[in-house]
Structure 1
Amino acid sequence: MSAQPDLFDRRLFRQFRERALKTARPGADFLLKAVAEDLEDRLSLINRSFRTAVDLGGHTGLVSNAIRNSGKAATILRADLFTPDPNLPAPDLVVDDALLPFGDQSVDLIVSALNLQVVNDLPGTLIQIRRALAPDGLFLATLPGAGTLTELRDSLTRAELEIKGGAAARVLPFADTRDLGSLLQRAGFALPVTDLDTVTVRYDTMFALLADLRSMGAASVLKDRSHKPLSKAVLLRAAELYAENHADADGRIRASFALVTLSGWAPHESQQKPLRPGSAKARLADALGVDEQKVRD
């Protein structure tokens, strides 16, 4: 059986990330800040503490701070992705999130934000994360899901078709919420949960959105991408189409980010488990206060 070809160019992703860290622009991390705050809130609601937590990705220190502010972890390890963040003190380690260096059952909490969407073998990475967690350890992550940047995808595709007669993929494909939940189950997580929150950001022009994506290190890293940059004519026409089809009454355009949050626990005997069929000790009819009706064969 042949291996599935890689979808993402990880070397290019590393280059984009390094560039984004070196040329960090104030305010361009707004989406990461919002995700980190949400993850902090979620951790704060969990009624237990963890000995060792890992910020898987570094995230300019925002996720490490979120874990710290939640008060849920005694020790926090910042694992920068690919390269140390030049704007922060040295990380505890530098990792590739597609090939984790953690031993089995070695950490209690792993938190990731906005980077697992460009792992080529996400099921394999989730298995590695589950194995790295001690029993009853928690995995918590947020990544863009299906519906992210649909306006940009639509405008670029239509402009390129109109001017060139064909269109290449310019925006990453993003996984569906249900599919991500299934991947958690396949990886062996207990009590898997996924939920979706759509954030809409407004811009003056499409070019302001593209500048933010570049500053986030979020430009396209598709391996099977066109290596020819879009022409000025295509970009200008895409900006026109964006303004015509995806703008509010005041003329500002919308950009949608569908943020999927995943949570799953390493299995442990203390966790709730479904009852065996037929093991109930009370009748549903009694609980509902109705007469039980027998169904004929």
Structure 2
Amino acid sequence: MTDTVNVPEVFDRQRRRIVRDRACARSTGDDFFSQIMVEEILERLDVVKRTFRRALIIGLPATRLGTELKSRGMKVVFADASARLARSVGGVICDDDRLPFADHSFDLIINIGSLDTINDLPGALVLIRRILLPDGLMLAALIGAESFSSLKSVMMEAEGDRVSAHIHPQIDVRTAGDLVARAGLTLPVADSDLLRLKYSSLRRLIADIRDVGGSNIMTGNLTAIRHNVLDEIQHSFRAQAGPDGKFAENVTILYLCAWAPHPDQPKPARRGSGQVSLTKTLSGKHEDGGSEN
């Protein structure tokens, strides 16, 4: 149960499971974008001056992350909508907004590349707050708004007046930060990295999107790309290539950090004051004599 009701089913849950199963089969979570997210999340975790004992990992890179966290002495539980992934790591098959764990079950939750494809994001964040121990930490990474804008533009131009969605919509950093705060998580920090990429192959670009589970999973009928449209996309892809023969594409990755409420935590600064740095937020050090659990 979550604090939200009557949430519209924007994403097809069964289609999402299939897409994530296929992505797992192709890349096992070692795809290009997931690797970047994992490296950044682990760097941020290294800043935290805390000892975590029980972690929940959600996302396709579960195997790699699990190995790393276990090496740090943590007990790790896995969950994902992908049955292939969950079974391979002995995890739980579930959607992010339907996590079947008891309150206060974990002191660390990491979500990689999954929060942008769920129907009830506010509800999922509320669940994370509930199942975290007081003063537990959430770290998340996801592909954000304005990503793949060049590819989307090429596809829309090629399809003319019969435009269909082929890449699911994404969330921007401000909205993500607001949702984390509204869920009751404290000391929220939302920031982003802009990746300026170049591709010599349209096939490689599309494969990177599919490998991270970024295929269209919207509810309703799927519209396949017609052969003549695909040819036009290929032509535009080559025409827009730079002098080096490569197609420029931008991808924004959002990073979220927040804590479950605890009375010893410092009070949040006034919105927009910029008085709390990411390093301080991650450090786990509390003012007014608070202890480090």
Give the TM-score of the pair, scaled to structure 1: 0.82
Mapping of 1:135-146 within 5 angstroms? 135-146=134-145
Residue 97 (structure 1) aligns with: 96
Cα shift readout 1:203-245 (whole Å, capped 9, x = no counterpart): 2122221233334332111114x53311111112122223333
Partner of 1:40: 42
Whole-Å Cα distance in 1 between the matches of residues 144 and 55 of structure 2? Answer: 25
Partner of 1:51: 53
Where 1:167 maps in the other structure, the secondary structure is: coil
For these two proteins, the number of residue pairs brought into alignment is 266
Q: Distance in 2 between matches of 1:211 and 1:58?
A: 15
Asked whether 1:196 is paired with 2:199, we answer no
Q: Which residue of the partner structure matches residue 176 of structure 1? A: 172
Residue 197 of structure 1 and its aligned partner are, at CA, apart by 0.4
Q: Does 1:254 align with 2:248?
A: yes
Instruction: In structure 1, give the amino acid aligned to 2:156.
Output: T
- Distance in 1, matches of 2:56 and 2:29, equals 25
Q: 2:45 matched to 1:61?
A: no
Secondary structure of 1:194's match? Answer: strand
1:12 alignment partner in structure 2: 15
Inter-partner Cα distance in structure 2 for 1:205 and 1:6: 34
**TM-score scaled by structure 2?**
0.83
Q: Which residue of 2 aligns with 1:294?
A: none
Name structure 2 gaps, 5 residues minimum.
271-293
Q: Which moved more, 1:89-98 or 1:263-272?
A: 89-98
The amino acid that maps onto 2:139 is L
Alignment of 1:100-249 (within 5 A): 100-161=99-160, 165-224=161-220, 227-245=222-240, 247-249=241-243
CA distance in 1, matches of 2:34, 2:23: 13
- Contact 1:82 1:94 survives alignment (8 Å): yes
Q: Using a 3 Å threshold, how does the CA distance of structure 1 residues 253 and 28 change in structure 2: closer, same or farther?
A: farther
Q: Secondary structure at the match of 1:85?
A: helix
RMSD of Structure 2 on Structure 1 (CA): 2.4
Counterpart amino acid of residue 230 in structure 2: L
Once the 2 structures are TM-superposed, how far is the Cα of residue 27 of structure 1 from its aligned partner?
9.6
Residues 1:96 and 1:26: Cα distance change in structure 2 (over 3 Å): closer
For the pair shown, which has the larger CA radius of gyration, 1 or 2? 1
- Write the distance in 2 (CA, Å) between the matches of 1:59 and 1:146: 22
Distance 1:171 1:74, change over 3 A: closer
SS in 2 for 1:251: coil
3-state SS of paired residue (1:126): helix
**1-side partners of 2:123 and 2:171: how far apart?**
15
Give the distance between the partners of 2:29 and 2:183, measured in 1 at CA. Answer: 36
Distance (Å, rounded) in 2 between the aligned partners of 1:137 and 1:31: 26
Secondary structure of 1:50's match? coil
* Runs of 4+ residues over 4 Å off in structure 1: 25-28
